[in-house]
Amino acid sequence: MQRSPLLLLAFLLYSLNTIQAQTKIVGECTLNFSITNALNNDTIGTKAVFVKGDQCKTILQTAHLNQSLYFNIQQTTATITKDIGSSHFLQVINYPPQNQPNLISMKETMPDSTMKILGYNCKNVELKWSDGIVYQVWYTTEIAATVNTYELAFKEISGLVLAYIIIPVSGNSIQYKANKIDLSPISLSQFNINTTLYQSID
């Protein structure tokens, strides 16, 4: 017995809506990442990501640097603060920056397998860029944040990235892996910058 084309179309639309409905969009979340050398697993530092509505703040901490990036996806500029020893700098940049590398290819590397990170099933995708850098990304489609571009490379990822390895053309690959996720509300003060503490640079 042949199925009616209308019945088949209705089934496909229902299936698509069901898949989309499974992704929970959150307007506020905090992610903490450990940063390690992917070759020998030596600790490099930490990265924290705060998302509240259209706003995002990232904090990168290493032994010698504390750098924060503040941006709003509705605006065309972002603010970077850097603490290096006793020196404190602030810079306003175009965001996203001009002359960004182009995405050459994006493909699932293991389409039939998943890895659990913080209780979420994660898929693996490989992103290749025009400057030669490769990202190995693990993301979940069970949850997504209102801002997913805490790394600009994640713009085309349809879910929340919980781990990634940045593979440069030369040098060591760096691994970021989430070790904590918090969906509690975030205070607006988290996005305030006391500009009097910083030296403004171009």
Residue 141 makes CB contacts below 8 A (sequence gap 6+) with: 22, 23, 123, 158, 159
Write the CATH number for 172: 2.50.20
Q: Quick count: other Cβ atoms within 10 Å of Cβ 108?
A: 11
Q: How far apart are CA 58 and CA 195, in angstroms?
A: 17
Domain membership flag for residue 79 = yes
What's the number of domains the chain is made of? Answer: 1
- pLDDT, one tens digit per residue, over 133-188 is 999 999 999 999 999 999 999 999 999 999 999 999 999 999 999 999 999 999 99
Residue 75 predicted with pLDDT over 60? yes
- pLDDT, one tens digit per residue, over 26-49 is 999 999 999 999 999 999 999 999
Nearest to 117 by CA among 159, 180, 165, 167: 180
- pLDDT, one tens digit per residue, over 101-144 is 999 999 988 777 789 999 999 999 999 999 999 999 999 999 99
Domain range for 92: 24-200
Q: Facing residues of 188 across strands?
A: none
pLDDT at 20: 47
**Per-residue pLDDT band at 100 (split at 50, 70, 90):** confident
Domain membership flag for residue 3 = no
Domain membership flag for residue 6 = no
pTM of the model: 0.86
